[in-house]
Amino acid sequence: MDTRLPKEFADLERFSAWILPSSSERNRKRVTSPMPELKDFYQAMIGRIDRLMEYFQQFSMEEMPQDTKRLMYLGLSLVEVAHAVERYGQPSIVDGMDPSRFKVLQEPRA
Amino acid sequence: MNTDLGNHRYCKDNLDLGTEPVPVEPCVSPEFFEREREKIFRRLWLNVGRDEDLPRKGDYIVKDLAVGNASVLVVRGQDGKVRAFHNVCMHRGNRLAWEDKGHCNGMFVCRFHAWAFDQQGNLKHVSDEANFHDLDKATLGLKPLAADVWQGFIFVNLDPSPSETLLEYLGGLAEHLNGYPFENQPRAFKFGVDEQTNWKVLIDAQNEIYHLPYLHKRSFPVFGPRNDHHATRTLAFRRFGRHGVYSVEQEKVERPTALEKVVDILAPTTGKADQMIGWFDFYTVFPNFVIMFLGKSSYLTYNVWPLAVDRSRWEISLYGPAPKNPAERIAMEYRVTRLRDLMQEDGGNHEAIQASLSTGAITHFQFQDEEIQLRHFHKVVREEVLGPNSL
């Protein structure tokens, strides 16, 4: 699989395992990854969040290069991981139901 | 409008709802469930989708409504009108459409013997027709069901002759929400989860914010105004016949998380549409449909489908303006997944509550004034099932 990212963000290619197009894949990876891994990814991404968002705003959803799309998937994974790091202090929600029972029946086209 | 942080604000204006504990039995009794089936789900208007589920002429959806003991075929005909039929072939009763959704190019053709019905339900073709006996095709159209659309929401009614039109049924609620720009906010996400819980237990768990500071202290540490005792207070509770709404004012998030700060600049959650009472308005559209508005340009719906007295399917849809760029897409994902996490926190309780109720350890629910919505909902259920003079 091609995991190249736009040149400016090439250092984030080490997180290519987080380039996941569906929200259930992203959620599964979040809840099955150890906390240090989540924190590592979170720190690398959140440290550059302003620049990332500025970069993303140059592209329309319809016309974005493949490397930008992969970077967007990293951004979408950051969302999952941020809930774990910023809110729960653990990969999963606390005292909740098994997230795999929550079926995604519709999501925006990847 | 400012939130009154006092106590006992709603009971005084809703004397008919009483203040006494409310019986558990309707949530655990198989007999009561059978009566709900007849008196509620086979008699009242039920939301089964939105206009956008049938964008083109000939598009259809099939809803298997176990609680109503019916499979319903909803189709947008060539005249643009939405119609509903029992999804049953008139020949020998086979299921007619087999997919959850699809597009019909001309006729619905039964796969058993190829009887063909047009999109208005008329029986148009019978294979080997000459060999039948006095077959009158004109009387053998698909069995129609009442169907109507309000603000893009498609409703059906399993009663062969409904006592009210959809608009009469929705009453003041429809008037109150008229003009809300639903059409500018397409469905972005839909989730579904099957739970071992009664449909009312599931709705109750969502139908108040008393639990926010406790169950959701991590996911939504700030949600709505609170009094000196850290207890939440809603902005308003209103009734529209069987339906109701509670509303919550927005509370400023003083210490947003790093990502929350960024997302909120991209997709501000402040502001409200003209039709909104507060910043978060939660409508229960009796019996099993919820529309909730969250800030200016997003809303959610729940359809809670009873499968048995202790089993339900929770369908959750989230709607909002389509993201224009990847940054807005990420902001949308943030909002959606945060709410999903919150709902999974709720889901962690639904089944435990049901299991506990079924032990008979408690016979009544204790509802406080901030739970008046639940009191109203349970009263409407009991009135529909047992009759208005039974309480």
Which of A46, A95, A103 is closest, CB to CB, to B193?
A103
Q: With an 8 Å Cβ cutoff, is B355 touching chain A?
A: no
Which pLDDT band holds residue B1 (cuts at 50, 70, 90)?
low
How many residues are given for chain B?
391
pLDDT (tens digit per residue) in B93-140: 999 999 999 999 999 999 999 999 999 999 999 999 999 999 999 999
pLDDT on residue B390 = 66
Amino acid in the structure at residue B289: F
Structure tokens at B32: 């009561």
A89-95: which pairs have CB atoms within 8 A and are 24 or more residues apart?
A: A89/A35, A90/A35, A91/A30, A91/A31, A91/A32, A91/A33, A91/A34, A91/A35, A91/A38, A92/A31, A93/B218, A93/B219, A93/B341, A93/B344, A93/B345, A93/B348, A94/B218, A94/B345, A95/B215, A95/B345, A95/B348
Please answer yes or no on whether B188 and A107 come within 8 Å at the CB atom: yes
Angle at B332 between CA A58 and CA A34, to 5 degrees: 100
Arithmetic mean of pLDDT over chain B? 95
**Other beta carbons within 10 Å of B171:** 14
- R_g over Cα of chain A: 14
Q: Which residues of A touch B (CB under 8 A)?
A: 23, 27, 46, 49-50, 53, 56-61, 64, 68-69, 71-72, 75-76, 78-80, 82-83, 86-88, 93-97, 99, 101-108
Which of B326, B336, B350 is closest, CB to CB, to A59?
B326
CB-CB contact of B119 with B77 (8 Å):
yes
Mean pLDDT of A41-48: 97
Which pLDDT band holds residue B271 (cuts at 50, 70, 90)?
confident
pLDDT (tens digit per residue) in B313-357: 999 999 999 999 999 999 999 999 999 999 999 999 999 999 999
B246 has pLDDT over 80: yes
Cα gap B365→B375, rounded to integer Å? 9
Q: How far is A18 from chain B (nearest CA, A)?
A: 14
Q: How far is A95 from chain B (nearest CA, A)?
A: 6
Give the three-state DSSP class for B310.
coil
Which pLDDT band holds residue B288 (cuts at 50, 70, 90)?
very high
Please answer yes or no on whether A64 and B329 come within 8 Å at the CB atom: no
Cα gap B377→B391, rounded to integer Å? 14
Strands (E) across chain B are located at 22-23, 45-50, 59-65, 70-76, 82-86, 101-103, 108-109, 116-117, 123-125, 144-150, 153-157, 187-195, 236-240, 243-248, 280-285, 289-294, 299-308, 311-319, 364-365
Which of A49, A57, A96 is closest, CB to CB, to B348?
A96
pLDDT (tens digit per residue) in B165-203: 999 999 999 999 999 999 999 999 999 999 999 999 999
Query: Which residues in chain B are contacts of A49 at CB distance < 8 A?
Result: 258-259, 262
Structure tokens at B351: 């089944």
Q: Looking at chain B from residue 144 to 203, which residues have their Cβ under 8 Å from any Cβ of chain A?
A: 187-194
